[in-house]
Homo-oligomer: A and B are copies of this chain.
Amino acid sequence: MKKICVVITNRAHYARGKLVLKAINEHPELELQLIVAGSALIDKYGNIMTKIEEDGFKINKKITMLLEGGTPTAMAKTTGLGLLEFSTAFENLEPDIVLIRGDRYEILAPAIAASYLNIPLAHIEGGDVTGTIDESVRHAVTKLAHLHFATNELSKERILKMGEIPENIYNVGSPDAEFLNSQDLTFNPNEIWKGETIGVGERPDLSKEYLIIIQHPVTTEHKKSKEQTEETIKAIHELKMPTIWIWPNVDAGTDELSKAVRVYRENTEQNHIQFVRFLDPTLFAKLLKNAACIVGNSSAGIKESSFLGTPAVNIGTRQQGRLKDKNVIDVSHDSEEIKGAILKQIKNGNYNQSELYFKPDTSKQIANTLAESKIKVQKRLNY
């Protein structure tokens, strides 16, 4: 049995990666090891421990590692602490492969720990191009990783160009798109909130056209977090449409961003916006599919929305360079531009489903590749 250690450091990691965990768990030659760490353990960012256990996965190790402050230093130290702890975890769990995903800053910790311990590293979502520190993190991880699961053809080619060995690079499609494809997304606006406790305040009327907002700080511009957020708030405030606003990730700039949201919330009379910390992934998928528009700078506005055909307004540099379909309109941090683009998207209505990020059997392909691949620990640039 090959031991595959999957690292989850973030609520979204889990939501989007569930099918991969399942495919590994069910593969006859693979044994799943699960480490839950960082913001995934923090209640206010949506502690997912209970959900994971309800879904039937065993957690092998919890790692408390998130520093407070929402500053670049806090990000760097969270990663340093993670590196210390993942080293111990891997030394004790002795996995055959470590599997990580994405480009959040803290994943360099398990990436380095695995590399230095001579444990082959597999990485989902390499080769994309975006803004923020994620851009540096993602490609650095590619240079440490042995097995690359790109989510689209363009990214696969970029990984190849960066000098990785062709037989270790796969385009398996995005687990996010696969997840969406696997869900019953029937939408009943009157039943949607039932049994969910998703935040304080009145709930917006989803039988009308509504918006979803997800705006993360851009770490490389973290000092502008407040003003960037205020532009989005201004646009949304003026539109007065029912809106679901989802809290940001924990990055440098999060505190300024959250503060801007909080100041607005506490000082402004409004009852059309519902602020939520964390949504069950299926619920989120339903809401996204039926939204008039998703607004902000989350990759959900590029990847998931392309598959669902949801119109998207993408603000600023965070997703700059990422492969986009025509459902996305790019705008800068300007409330008028944002408002204009939203109105244009609403007028346009839904787009056709895009196959840019979709392939069938993404998770099974990942599991099979993990089971079959023979990896050479010593890496070598392919030119």
Interface residues of A in 239-285 (CB under 8 A from B): 250, 252, 255, 263, 266-267
Residue of A140, A141, A201 with highest tally of chain B CB at under 10 A: A140
CA A85 – CA B91 in complex, angstroms? 13
List the B residue with the shortest CB-CB distance to A37: B88
Chain B residues lying within 8 Å of A87, measured Cβ to Cβ, are 64, 73, 76-77, 80
Interface residues of A in 61-105 (CB under 8 A from B): 61-69, 71-77, 79-88, 91-92, 105
Cβ of A198 within 8 Å of any chain B Cβ, yes or no, is no
Oligomeric state, in copies: 4
Cβ of A204 within 8 Å of any chain B Cβ, yes or no, is no
Cβ of A225 within 8 Å of any chain B Cβ, yes or no, is no
Stretch from A155-163, A228-236, A349-357 at the B interface? A155-163
Cβ of A142 within 8 Å of any chain B Cβ, yes or no, is yes
Chain B residues lying within 8 Å of A73, measured Cβ to Cβ, are 64, 87-88, 91, 116-117
- Count of chain A residues with a beta carbon within 8 Å of a chain B beta carbon: 79
CB contact between A69 and one of B41, B81, B83 (< 8 Å): that residue: B41
Chain B residues lying within 8 Å of A68, measured Cβ to Cβ, are 39, 42, 66-68, 250
Cβ of A122 within 8 Å of any chain B Cβ, yes or no, is no
Is the Cβ of A136 less than 8 Å from the Cβ of B144?
yes
List the B residue with the shortest CB-CB distance to A41: B69
CA A344 – CA B42 in complex, angstroms? 41
CA A154 – CA B140 in complex, angstroms? 21
Cβ of A43 within 8 Å of any chain B Cβ, yes or no, is yes
CB contact between A255 and one of B44, B112, B219 (< 8 Å): that residue: B44
Known A-B contacts A74-B64, A117-B72; the reply to A379 vs B144 at CB < 8 A is no
Is the Cβ of B140 less than 8 Å from the Cβ of A144?
yes
Chain B residues lying within 8 Å of A27, measured Cβ to Cβ, are none
CB contact between A116 and one of B39, B83, B133, B200 (< 8 Å): that residue: B133
Chain B residues lying within 8 Å of A76, measured Cβ to Cβ, are 83, 86-87, 112-113, 116-117
Is the Cβ of B161 less than 8 Å from the Cβ of A112?
no
Is the Cβ of A158 less than 8 Å from the Cβ of B200?
no
Interface string of A312-346 (1 = CB under 8 A from B): 00000100110000000000000000000000000
CB contact between A80 and one of B44, B109, B129, B220 (< 8 Å): that residue: B109
* 10 further A-B pairs in the complex, CB-CB below 8 A; given A66-B68, A135-B380: A43-B69, A63-B88, A66-B67, A67-B81, A77-B81, A84-B85, A131-B378, A140-B143, A143-B143, A320-B380
Q: Which 9 A-B pairs have the closest CB atoms?
A: A80-B83, A80-B84, A139-B143, A76-B87, A68-B68, A76-B116, A140-B143, A140-B140, A72-B117
